Homo-oligomer: A and B are copies of this chain.
Amino acid sequence: MIDGYSVLPVRGIGEVRPGDDLARLITDAAPWLRDGDILVVTSKIVSKAEGQLADVPVAGPEREAAREDLLRSETARVVATRGHTRIVQTHHGFVMASAGIDNSNVDRSQLVLLPKDPDRSAADLRATLRERHGLDVAVIVSDTMGRPWRNGLTDVALGSAGIAPLRDHRGETDPHGNDLQITQIAVVDELAAAAELVKGKIDQVPVAVIRGLIQTTEEAPGVVPTLVRTAEQDLFSLGTEEAKEQGRRERSGDPRP
């Protein structure tokens, strides 16, 4: 019966600051980590350790203006806008509200940006844990994202190392002889979701450990090259209103992009 898996919170990590050694903070808080575990680390503490913070005024229109500037610099293209909501594609390729810029769990005078290269962050943490602590673990850097068509957010993976982001059932057949042609499961996103359930927003549990799932630790491509779909491949590369507006402009011969 005990052949499922466990999801364990890592408590006591405390406030993370620029330059902090995440591998040490995590192994101090979770001396019970062991080979084969999958470590799911909230992107916010990765960003903080890497100094991906921006100083902003604590209130007023100056704060809003500074936030706007940051959003612009983190944005590769705007996907959809409604009221104060701005959904954009980041330079990494993620489609997220406000480019993932966050003001929660940080001092009022700062905003947290996404890690510059979350796959690299995951690989670095994995390498440090292996080299300095003798641990062979997979690492996922996760964040909370919205999605179309359904209310509520879920956690997904921004970066990973030591685990294949997709499990591929294409080419297999079921017991009835039917092909399973198109089923690729986004395993790292499901792991990020499973981890969120013990992390919570206020509880200051920024890391969870997933134990007991068989996983390859051979070198696998990260999240960005595997899971991020380009605008050209996507059927929803623009919001409905934005796309309608583009159609109207095309028809009226308006050359604006």
Which chain A residues have a beta carbon within 8 Å of chain B's beta carbons?
Answer: 1-9, 32, 80, 82, 85, 87, 94-95, 103-108, 144, 147-156, 165-166, 169, 172, 174-178, 180, 183-187, 189-191, 193-194, 196-198, 201-202, 204, 208-209, 213, 226-229, 234-252
Contact = CB atoms under 8 A, between A and B. Distances in A.
A242 B4 CA distance: 44
Q: Which of A178, A186, A228 has the most CB of B within 10 A?
A: A186
A105 B152 contact: no
B187 A197 contact: yes
A108 B247 contact: no
Contacts of A248: 247-248, 250-251
B194 A7 contact: yes
B150 A186 contact: yes
- Identify the 3 closest CB pairs spanning chains A and B, nearest first: A247-B247, A152-B186, A243-B243
Nearest to A152: B186
Contact of A184 (B152, B226, B235, B246): B152
Contacts of A144: 183, 185
Contact of A252 (B184, B226, B239, B251): B251
A179 to B, nearest CB: 8
B165 A229 contact: no
Given A6-B4, A147-B147, A243-B247, A180 B152 contact: no
A1 B12 CA distance: 12
Contacts of A202: 169, 172, 174-175, 180
A235 B239 contact: yes
A108 B243 CA distance: 40
B197 A191 contact: yes
Nearest to A150: B227
A61 to B, nearest CB: 18
B166 A151 contact: yes
B240 A178 contact: no
Contacts of A82: 235
